[in-house]
C-alpha cells in the first residue's frame, strides 16, 4: 500500500471488552500507542481518539464513543478512521460493513493497522469483506463449540446456566467439571414452588396465585413481586420434577420466544425434584386445556394501551372492560384503561385506577389539537422544551466534572502503584490485583464520561424553533385525524412516550418524542412520482429535518 500521500485528518477508534482484557490481555493503551505512532510516522494529524472501554462489540448500543465518532463523521471532522484490528469496530460482518458504508457516504476511509488495508480501493474493500467473513466464521465456530459442550452437559443430565427459584448451586466433592458443583434445594423457596403447583392444580388461575403470594409478602428470585408471567414460567419448568430441559429456544438474544427449537433436549437430571410426578402431570394437563380455550377479545379499539401511566404506581395501563345488564336485560359493555400491575400482580401491589377509554382518548387528542390551533399554548410548549434542554446542561456538566475528577484520581493511583512496583516496594501479585481493580473502575468512569459528553452534545444543540415544533405537532395531529385506526395506533406508539394522569385520573400531560426516524418515515411526504400504497399514512407536505431527538410535553 502507498502511504506517501498528503497528510490526513485521522480519527483513532479503540475498543476492548472486559472479557478480552481478562482472558487475552488485550490493552487499550497498547492499541492507542501503536496507532498514534503509525499516524506520526506518516505525518497524519490525529483529530480525536474514540475509546470504548470494557464494552462488547456485539452492537452499537452502549458504545457511546462509536456513536460520537459516527456523529463527527457526518460533520466531516476527519477523512480517515483507523483501528488496530477490524473486529474492534464490530463483531458481526454485516454490522462492520454497515458502519464502513456510513463512513464512505461521508468520503471517509476505513483503515485496519494489523490487517494492513484500507477501503480507499476496490481491493481494500474486498479484503475487508473477506476478513470480516473469516472473523465471523471463527467466532461462530467458537459459539458452536460452546453450544456443543452445553448440549452434551444437558444430555448427561447436568444443568447449564442459572437455576430457578427453589434451587442453588454449591461446591461439589469431585474434581471434574461435572462433579465440582452440585444443585441442592433451598427449602424456603421450594415451599413457594410447591404452593404454586398445588394452587394451580386445584383450579386457581395465574393472577389469583400471584396476588395471594404478593399479599403474603413473597418475592421472586430477583426480589420482585410475582406476576402472571413469573407464575407461568415456573409452572412450565420441568426442572422441578427432576428433568433437565435444554435448547428450547435458539438464538434467544435475537429471536426470543419466536426462535422455538424443534430439537429440545429433555432428560432425567442429577438434581433432586421439588414436586412429584403426579402433581406435575396434573398441572401440565390443566395448562394444555387452558391453552386451547379462546382468549378474551375486547370489542372496540384501544388506542393508548401501554401509553397511559397509572397515577398511583406509574405502571403502564392496559385495556379492560365491565359487562352489566340494564333494567330491561340488555348487556352494557363499558371499556376502560386499568393499571397493568394491578391486573397482573393484584391489589397488594396497586389498584385498578380505571379511566374510561373514550374519555381518555378524547382528552389526549384534544390536548394535541389545542397545541395546534392555539398559538399561546404552542409558544408555552416551545419555551418549556428549550428550558428543559438548557436546564439539563448544568447537572450534566456537574456530573461530568465529578466523573473527570474520579478518572484523574484513579489514574494517579495507577501511577503510584507503578512507582511502588518499579522500586520493588510491592510484590507482583498484589500489583496485578490492584491494577486490575483500578482498570475496571477506570473503564466504568470513562464509559460514563463518553455517555455524558454525548448527552451534552445533543442538549447544547440550537434551541427548538416555534416553526419546527408547530410543523411537527401539526403534521402529527393531521395524521391522527385522517388515518385509519391501525395507523393511528402505530403513530401513537412511535411518537407518544408517556401520558400522565393527575390524582383525579384526568390527563395532565402528553409527552411526545420526534426523531430522525419518525420524521423520515412518517412525517415527510414521499416523492410525487411514487404511488402511495393502499393504507399508507395520508401525507401532505414535508417536515423539517431533525438532527436529534426532540421531546415535547403538552
Give the Cα separation of 447 and 424 in Å (integer): 33
Of 83, 31, 99, 67, whose CA–CA distance to 452 is shortest?
A: 67
Residue 57 vs residues 146, 282, 300, 403: alpha-carbon distances, Å: 19, 46, 45, 24
Give the Cα separation of 274 and 210 in Å (integer): 19
Give the Cα separation of 34 and 9 in Å (integer): 17
Type and span of the H or E element at 337: strand 331-339
526, three cell numbers: 414521499
Using left for φ > 0, alpha for ψ between -120 and 50, and beta otherwise, residue 328 falls in alpha
Type and span of the H or E element at 46: strand 45-53
Q: What is the DSSP string of 231-264?
A: HHHHHT-GGGGTEEEE-SBSSHHHHGGGSB-S--
Catalytic residue among 5, 6, 17, 112: 17
Q: What is the DSSP string of 448-492?
A: HHHHHHHHHHHHTSPPPPHHHHHHHHHHHHHHHHHS-HHHHHHHH
Beta bridge partners of 512: 496, 552
Contact of 477 with 525, CB cutoff 8 Å: no
Using left for φ > 0, alpha for ψ between -120 and 50, and beta otherwise, residue 116 falls in left
Q: Strand 80-83 vs strand 9-16: parallel, antiparallel, or unpaired?
A: parallel
Contact of 372 with 473, CB cutoff 8 Å: yes
The span from the first CA to the last CA of the chain, in angstroms, equals 58
Question: Is position 390 annotated as part of the catalytic site?
Answer: no
Backbone angles phi and psi of 53, in degrees to 5:
-105, 135
Contact of 261 with 247, CB cutoff 8 Å: yes
Backbone angles phi and psi of 141, in degrees to 5:
-65, -40
Catalytic machinery residues: 17
Amino acid at each position: 500500500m502507498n502511504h506517501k500521500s498528503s497528510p490526513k485528518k485521522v480519527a483513532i477508534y479503540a475498543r476492548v471488552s472486559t472479557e478480552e482484557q481478562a482472558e487475552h490481555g488485550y490493552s487499550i493503551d497498547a492499541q492507542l500507542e501503536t496507532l498514534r505512532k503509525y499516524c506520526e510516522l506518516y505525518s497524519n494529524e490525529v483529530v480525536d481518539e474514540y475509546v470504548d472501554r470494557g464494552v462488547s462489540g456485539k452492537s452499537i448500543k452502549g458504545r457511546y464513543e462509536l456513536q460520537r465518532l459516527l456523529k463527527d463523521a457526518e460533520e466531516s471532522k476527519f477523512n480517515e478512521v483507523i483501528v488496530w484490528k477490524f473486529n474492534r469496530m464490530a463483531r458481526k460482518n454485516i454490522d462492520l460493513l454497515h458502519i464502513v458504508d456510513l463512513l464512505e457516504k461521508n468520503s471517509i476511509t476505513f483503515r485496519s493497522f494489523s490487517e494492513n488495508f484500507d477501503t480507499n480501493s476496490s481491493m481494500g474493500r474486498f479484503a475487508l469483506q473477506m476478513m470480516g467473513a473469516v472473523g465471523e466464521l471463527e467466532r461462530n465456530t467458537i459459539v458452536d463449540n460452546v453450544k456443543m459442550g452445553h448440549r452434551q452437559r444437558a444430555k448427561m443430565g447436568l444443568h447449564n446456566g442459572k437455576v430457578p427459584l427453589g434451587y442453588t448451586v454449591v461446591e461439589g466433592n469431585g474434581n471434574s467439571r461435572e462433579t465440582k458443583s452440585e444443585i441442592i434445594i433451598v427449602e424456603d423457596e421450594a415451599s413457594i414452588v410447591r404452593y404454586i403447583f398445588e394452587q394451580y392444580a386445584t383450579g386457581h388461575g395465574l393472577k389469583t396465585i400471584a396476588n395471594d403470594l404478593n399479599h403474603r409478602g413473597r418475592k421472586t428470585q430477583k426480589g420482585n413481586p410475582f406476576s402472571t408471567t413469573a407464575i407461568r414460567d415456573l409452572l412450565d419448568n420441568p426442572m422441578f420434577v427432576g428433568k433437565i430441559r435444554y435448547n428450547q429456544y435458539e438464538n434467544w438474544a435475537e429471536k426470543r420466544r419466536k426462535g422455538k427449537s424443534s430439537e429440545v433436549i429433555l432428560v432425567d437430571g442429577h438434581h433432586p425434584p421439588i414436586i412429584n410426578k403426579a402433581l406435575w402431570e396434573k398441572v401440565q394437563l390443566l395448562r394444555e386445556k387452558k391453552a386451547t380455550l379462546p382468549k378474551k377479545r375486547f370489542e372496540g379499539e384501544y388506542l393508548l394501551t401501554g401509553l397511559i401511566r397509572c397515577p398511583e404506581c406509574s405502571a403502564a395501563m392496559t385495556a379492560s372492560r365491565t359487562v352489566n345488564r340494564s333494567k330491561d336485560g340488555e348487556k352494557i359493555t363499558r371499556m376502560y384503561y386499568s393499571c397493568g400491575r394491578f391486573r397482573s400482580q393484584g391489589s397488594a401491589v396497586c389498584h385498578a385506577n380505571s379511566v374510561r377509554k373514550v374519555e381518555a382518548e378524547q382528552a389526549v387528542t384534544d390536548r394535541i389539537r389545542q397545541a395546534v390551533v392555539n398559538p399561546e399554548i404552542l409558544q408555552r410548549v416551545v419555551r418549556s422544551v428549550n428550558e428543559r434542554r438548557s436546564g439539563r446542561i448544568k447537572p450534566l456538566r456537574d456530573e461530568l466534572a465529578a466523573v473527570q475528577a474520579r478518572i484523574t484520581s484513579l489514574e494517579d493511583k495507577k501511577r503510584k502503584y507503578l512507582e511502588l512496583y518499579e522500586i520493588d516496594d510491592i510484590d507482583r501479585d498484589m500489583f496485578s490485583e490492584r491494577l486490575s481493580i483500578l482498570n475496571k473502575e477506570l473503564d466504568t468512569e470513562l464509559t460514563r464520561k463518553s455517555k455524558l459528553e454525548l448527552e451534552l452534545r445533543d442538549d447544547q444543540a440550537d434551541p427548538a424553533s416555534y416553526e419546527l415544533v408547530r410543523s411537527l405537532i401539526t403534521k402529527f395531529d393531521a395524521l391522527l385525524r385522517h388515518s385509519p385506526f391501525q395507523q393511528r395506533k402505530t403513530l401513537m406508539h412511535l411518537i407518544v412516550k408517556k401520558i400522565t394522569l393527575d390524582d383525579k385520573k384526568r390527563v395532565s400531560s402528553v409527552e411526545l418524542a420526534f426523531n430522525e426516524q419518525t420524521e423520515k418515515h412518517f412525517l415527510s411526504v414521499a416523492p410525487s412520482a411514487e404511488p402511495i400504497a393502499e393504507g399508507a399514512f395520508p401525507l401532505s407536505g414535508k417536515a423539517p429535518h431533525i438532527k436529534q431527538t426532540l421531546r415535547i410535553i403538552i
